[in-house]
Structure 1
């Protein structure tokens, strides 16, 4: 009897919460890319597009075991962190998950969007059949860290904090079984010569203790290729060995318009390292700013050798829109590398880059097919009813599972009492903006109970720069509202009273710098709210930081929009 009463009380409580909770159901999400560059450059059978990962997938690092390639990217405050991709041919890539997928590994709950995970490096050690991922976590007091696994498809270890300062660590396994870590750091105290002066350090690494060897550190590059020219931000180092020589490849010039990749050579992993005479070996900084199909900011590269002895390099670069806005962020590009001479050379990496590359021999382009990641002008449809979310859906500063529930009707978001401007976990499910011009639409079943309740779409560059397009309530009436937040200050662009039926379709249409926010009550005829608005606040050059814009399905019980 007592158990029966308890069950009845519990059921009543659940029903009360359900009926009094303003949770909303999102369904039938559609995203479609409409970039002119792909329409004007259709692929032939022996071609593929670069970037291979469109949207905010910066700082790529790559490794190989046998015929399997693995690639990772920076993820900042996104959760889960460090997306990881697998390929057997360098053209067709599948996302197999995230390296940092547990709260114990990723402490970004109080991080700004451009904090968190910087510049991960992935490497395979053939001597112990183990993969290592080393990165800097600028959050949670962690700093430089390393995780490892025998199989990247089966999860990674807990975090091992590394005992050194600086950023951008990478690991190198020598053929004598020794290991080293190289990274960016500040010059010794009192020796800084100019703003942006940095150094590259190397440490011996103890594979048994998974820790750098205390006292083994030394500077192997001071400033950059030529310190008399005051080069800035030597960073993103990677160490390689070929034909008995050691090669140190680094980014130089800052991750903007002067970005480049440079290389040094030595007889020892600890130097002295001598810069190549033909540096940089990759850059786009020398060309007219109004060039067609412009690729810019190229650098932060990593190399991989194929089983047949060829080389390829992955790197970040950007493609700005007609107003030079960088809304899609830093993307992952690839080029073949000629290493038949002393130094590696990125093929066509020192001329204006083209959108298409020749396919490696014997490879068939399967992008956007058979589970492979899409590129070009693709369409992504998700009814949001599957219990297993697509890997491209991510949250901000905390696990998705903390606020989502999958139902037979779609994805239920249980709103947090934080809104999109909080430097805290927010109840929003994001995917990256992957085109300059696109359409994104979602169906929403939601009836807010108060002005504090809001649900809809957000276009999000950071907690301080974003648009929110959603449904809320004022007195007894329902309203659709468009809010713009710039430098943390919000203004209502437009609002309109609506009569709520069961579902409303929300749509954002971008054409370069122009964004439009539309809604439909019948799924056929769309009404615009607020006219054409600028995408300036969604661009890195306006908002700052290192990320691209995200498109989010968003809900909050702490709406503060005013109109």
Structure 2
């Protein structure tokens, strides 16, 4: 009897009376044929590059908290990544002007456990340093997830990957490493004051430890507070953090961020005779900030700080640091970006050249650097640029990332484009999502994609998301309710969702989707066949750090889910 039913099932299947569930599921997987991002910022139109110039920021979009190191002619730079997966983007350059992303430091689940944490948790403020005494690179950071805390990974070749994390036995955040000429190693970091000694909200200290290179652990009992509060303790300074130690002319210099990552952000410096201090602040602090300037200045850059120093190819000093470029409503949708400035260290303390006046959009290249190759031959693009991805390569560009989990868990290139295998998770859940993200890198931009998708029910949706966090985002996509396809635009603010617009759509196979922004004005559009785009206008307010909080910028996602709750309204 069982064999008869099996034969009958196969006959019905062969004549099309039944559909193979696996085949039906495969048909429902959305395929994005391509994606095109175009930057349209006015500042780059008004300030074209002349020969010998390059733009700053050097990394546009949410690439914050840069740290840099040098080995010979090779420079390596890392930035924060929070709950993005993979974590800690790493860039390489030979001249500080032209940068290539060579991968991510934390690219395995054993290294990065952010699957159940909010978007602004995870990886904070990585530091990268080369130790010539053992020819080894170290990346040290705080991972607020997975039970890690402060960790270090290492390699002798950043092009070839990094070790699994080693958990370090100290509290606090923003750890940095320093390797002295005598081979000794130290870890310096932000921490809370000693218990019972807290004086005010935001009171922090900088602490230093000796570091055992053989056992990769801080030396128990060697910790010492070297800065209590900040430059002027009587003024109750807040959030002294992101410390780095440098040695020059036999003296030790401790450079830190101070004032919090916002409008009061700055960079300050101290001097000492030994790595463990004591340290005395410079009289001309802060050495970098934008906080004293007019609010309505042209081409405004703000929040400058969290810097790291390196000797450039011309034997002069340079600093990478974070800053933001707010839109016309002073909102921060592109997130905190990586800038660079030359530094004059001919005197006792380093001086950021033009670091206390309005930052300019372009700089002169270091002496001896003759070619600006940004956007060519794999070098990171800069200024206004157009990036087109046809999803026809085995190796997807590193700029495409997942959230809380690897992109490889839900994507594949199938010859027609990018196919997403949707998770039963929507964008508002604190779980890995089946969304491939690209950072917003301009205040004014266009993002286009073409989607082939036939949703079968209201739980299925695919399209574009614009995400500041799990609680602040837009979803714009196609779903199916009672056999009818709908385009829906959902706005989620502080966890509360509402449908902004929904319409029935009837398309044959593919639909074109677009997201564009002019400052704070965002528009989501769709087009059928060769027809014109129809746009729905919204505010970009919820995509800004000012409204959403947290530490990331807006991320544009190619999104699919089988847990959709964005349903059309009649």
Q: How many Å separate the matches in 2 of 1:237 and 1:291?
A: 30
Q: How many Å separate the matches in 2 of 1:376 and 1:115?
A: 29
Instruction: Write the deviation string for residues 456-497 of structure 1: whole angstroms up to 9, x where unpaired.
Output: 000100000000000001101000000000001110000000
Aligned: 1:90 with 2:96: yes
Q: Give the C-alpha shift of residue 523 in structure 1.
A: 4.4
Q: Secondary structure at the match of 1:426?
A: coil
Q: Secondary structure at the match of 2:120?
A: coil
Note if contact 1:23-1:415 (Cα within 8 Å) is conserved in structure 2.
Answer: yes
Q: Give the C-alpha shift of residue 306 in structure 1.
A: 2.6
Q: How many Å separate the matches in 2 of 1:60 and 1:415?
A: 34
Q: Give the C-alpha shift of residue 40 in structure 1.
A: 0.6
Q: Give the C-alpha shift of residue 16 in structure 1.
A: 3.3
Q: Give the C-alpha shift of residue 137 in structure 1.
A: 0.1
Aligned: 1:449 with 2:456: yes
Q: How many Å separate the matches in 1 of 2:531 and 2:170?
A: 58
Aligned: 1:480 with 2:487: yes
1:522-561 paired onto structure 2 within 5 Å? 522-523=529-530, 525-528=532-535, 530=536, 532-561=537-566
Q: How many Å separate the matches in 1 of 2:147 and 2:428?
A: 23
Residue 368 of structure 1: aligned partner = 375
Note if contact 1:432-1:548 (Cα within 8 Å) is conserved in structure 2.
Answer: yes
Q: Secondary structure at the match of 2:295?
A: coil
Note if contact 1:447-1:500 (Cα within 8 Å) is conserved in structure 2.
Answer: no
Aligned: 1:24 with 2:24: no
Residue 3 of structure 2: aligned partner = none
Q: Secondary structure at the match of 1:542?
A: helix
Q: Secondary structure at the match of 1:373?
A: coil
The normalised TM-score by structure 2 is: 0.96
Note if contact 1:505-1:523 (Cα within 8 Å) is conserved in structure 2.
Answer: no
Match for residue 79 of structure 2 among 73, 77, 81: 73
Aligned: 1:220 with 2:191: no
C-alpha spacing 1:377/1:352, structure 2 compared with 1 (3 Å)? same
Residue 514 of structure 1: aligned partner = 521
Q: How many Å separate the matches in 1 of 2:124 and 2:338?
A: 15
Note if contact 2:314-2:367 (Cα within 8 Å) is conserved in structure 1.
Answer: no
Aligned: 1:412 with 2:419: yes
Residue 40 of structure 1: aligned partner = 46
Q: Give the C-alpha shift of residue 309 in structure 1.
A: 2.6
Q: Secondary structure at the match of 1:53?
A: coil
Q: Secondary structure at the match of 1:189?
A: coil
Q: How many Å separate the matches in 1 of 2:499 and 2:412?
A: 30
Once structures 1 and 2 are overlaid, which stretch shifts more, 21-30 or 133-142? 21-30
Q: How many Å separate the matches in 2 of 1:477 and 1:170?
A: 56
Residue 217 of structure 2: aligned partner = 211
Unmatched segments (≥5 aa) in structure 1: none
Note if contact 1:200-1:237 (Cα within 8 Å) is conserved in structure 2.
Answer: yes
Residue 301 of structure 2: aligned partner = 295
Task: Give runs of ≥4 in structure 1 deviating > 6 Å.
Answer: 11-14
Q: Secondary structure at the match of 2:434?
A: strand
Q: How many Å separate the matches in 2 of 1:321 and 1:493?
A: 23
Instruction: Write the deviation string for residues 106-128 of structure 1: whole angstroms up to 9, x where unpaired.
Output: 00001100000000000000111
Q: Give the C-alpha shift of residue 527 in structure 1.
A: 1.2
Q: How many residues align?
A: 554
Note if contact 1:464-1:485 (Cα within 8 Å) is conserved in structure 2.
Answer: yes
Residue 65 of structure 2: aligned partner = 59
Q: Give the C-alpha shift of residue 308 in structure 1.
A: 4.5
Q: Secondary structure at the match of 2:303?
A: strand
Q: How many Å separate the matches in 2 of 1:178 and 1:463?
A: 44
C-alpha spacing 1:523/1:344, structure 2 compared with 1 (3 Å)? farther
Aligned: 1:258 with 2:269: no
Aligned: 1:164 with 2:156: no
Match for residue 392 of structure 2 among 385, 391, 403: 385
Note if contact 2:257-2:307 (Cα within 8 Å) is conserved in structure 1.
Answer: yes
Q: How many Å separate the matches in 2 of 1:147 and 1:20?
A: 41
Once structures 1 and 2 are overlaid, which stretch shifts more, 517-526 or 331-340? 517-526
Q: Secondary structure at the match of 1:537?
A: helix
C-alpha spacing 1:51/1:14, structure 2 compared with 1 (3 Å)? farther
Note if contact 1:461-1:543 (Cα within 8 Å) is conserved in structure 2.
Answer: yes
1:230-245 paired onto structure 2 within 5 Å? 230-245=236-251
Q: Give the C-alpha shift of residue 14 in structure 1.
A: 12
Q: Give the C-alpha shift of residue 230 in structure 1.
A: 0.5
Note if contact 1:25-1:413 (Cα within 8 Å) is conserved in structure 2.
Answer: yes
Q: Secondary structure at the match of 1:19?
A: helix
The normalised TM-score by structure 1 is: 0.97
Instruction: Write the deviation string for residues 319-377 of structure 1: whole angstroms up to 9, x where unpaired.
Output: 00000010000000000000000101110001111101011123210100111000101
Q: How many Å separate the matches in 1 of 2:299 and 2:139?
A: 34
CA RMSD for the aligned pairs? 1.5
Match for residue 275 of structure 2 among 269, 272, 275: 269
Q: Secondary structure at the match of 2:159?
A: helix
Q: Give the C-alpha shift of residue 307 in structure 1.
A: 4.9
C-alpha spacing 1:523/1:167, structure 2 compared with 1 (3 Å)? farther
Unmatched segments (≥5 aa) in structure 2: 1-5
Q: How many Å separate the matches in 2 of 1:121 and 1:360?
A: 24
Q: How many Å separate the matches in 2 of 1:339 and 1:95?
A: 29
C-alpha spacing 1:189/1:50, structure 2 compared with 1 (3 Å)? same
Residue 471 of structure 1: aligned partner = 478
Q: Give the C-alpha shift of residue 429 in structure 1.
A: 0.2
Aligned: 1:183 with 2:189: yes
Q: How many Å separate the matches in 1 of 2:196 and 2:214?
A: 35
C-alpha spacing 1:450/1:209, structure 2 compared with 1 (3 Å)? same
